[in-house]
Structure 1
Amino acid sequence: MKQTAPGHPLTAATLVTDPLDRLLIVHPTSGGSWHLPGGIVEQGESPLEAARREAREELGLSLDIREQDLFAVEWLQATRPGRRDRLAFLFAGPILAAEAPDIVLQPSEVDAWRWATREESRSILHPAVAARIMGPLQVPSSATYREIRNQK
């Protein structure tokens, strides 16, 4: 029987916006809520490398994301029995032209993308993800640490 290593799983995501301050969000092929481009940090990979890789895989984009683009680090409490708490790294990505980003979806991971206003994002993203977009979306070198606990 495979044992799970102690510690927290890591995820990395990127806030990509357009000149109108709309957020690029993606819809997973598996269904469920819309989310930010990103995913699990793989073994031997840094959160920054994972954010870049996930943008390439999900959207076909090579984003210029740097260490100083770290936007937030969040601790997220497990939502169900059998799940583990995790750490989420969020990077401020580039501002892309709204009319023609060269997006090519990876059908095995995402089936749609769209630009969403902050208000739209709050209503269609998972509540924990929506909480990430409360402040300014492009603030380099001002990372914050947050903890997301389940409301009981």
Structure 2
Amino acid sequence: MHPPAPGHPVTASVLITNSSDDLLIVHPNKGDAAPWQLPGGIVEQGESPLDAARRESREELGLNLDIQVFDLFAIEWLQATREDSRDRLAFLFAGPVLEPEDTVLITLQHDELDAWRWADRTEAKTMLHPAIAARIVGPLQTPGSPVYRETRHEGAL
């Protein structure tokens, strides 16, 4: 058996807003101290980041979101922070603007998430992990041109 190929794990997340430009954030089912997150997760083998964003939205929220290639909002390379982890690539897609009638359709995947809520930009930045909060710059409802970012850590591995 061969060791795993070197490379970067890949994640895909979705920025979902309402008409007030509030951001939909989710809380992982890992205790109260866990930071809030954006809907999304790991891109599986043989799956594109776009397909992963659609799948994760469906699994985590019970929503079939019409996310398209042109909805790519940002790509970020994140340097590993621990010896036992690897650098990672994160794809962020701009999701739809949800209306109040859409939110009644949200059904959480309770083995992964215990809550969802709307948060304005200032509130979201205090509730999300700092690396995630740093990605939500500029208008959230119109992706425009994708942004590439790198997150490096002082004195990292």
TM over 0.5: yes
Q: CA deviation at 1:71?
A: 0.3
The equivalent of 1:30 in structure 2 is: 30
Q: CA deviation at 1:151?
A: 3.5
The equivalent of 2:15 in structure 1 is: 15
What does 1:71-150 align with in structure 2 at a 5 Å threshold? 71-98=73-100, 101=103, 102-150=105-153
In structure 2, the residue corresponding to 1:73 is in which secondary structure? strand
Which residue of 69, 72, 79 corresponds with 2:71? 69
Please list the CA deviations of residues 53-91 of structure 1 after superposition, one character each: whole Å capped at 9, or x if unmatched.
000010000000000000011001112111000000000
Q: Distance in 1 between matches of 2:45 and 2:126?
A: 33
Residue identity opposite 2:75 in structure 1: V
Please list the CA deviations of residues 82-120 of structure 1 after superposition, one character each: whole Å capped at 9, or x if unmatched.
100000000000000146511000111111000000000
User: Could you list the runs of 5+ residues in structure 1 that have no partner in the other structure?
Assistant: none
Residue identity opposite 2:107 in structure 1: V
User: Could you list the runs of 5+ residues in structure 2 that have no partner in the other structure?
Assistant: none
Q: Distance in 2 between matches of 1:117 and 1:98?
A: 16
Q: Distance in 2 between matches of 1:54 and 1:127?
A: 21
Residue identity opposite 2:73 in structure 1: F
Q: CA deviation at 1:134?
A: 2.2
How many residue pairs get aligned? The number is: 152
Residue identity opposite 1:140 in structure 2: P
In structure 2, the residue corresponding to 1:42 is in which secondary structure? coil
Note the aligned Cα RMSD (angstroms): 1.5
Q: How much identity, in percent, do the aligned residues show?
A: 66
Moved >4 Å (runs of 4+): none
Q: Distance in 1 between matches of 2:81 and 2:2?
A: 22
In structure 1, the residue corresponding to 2:134 is in which secondary structure? helix
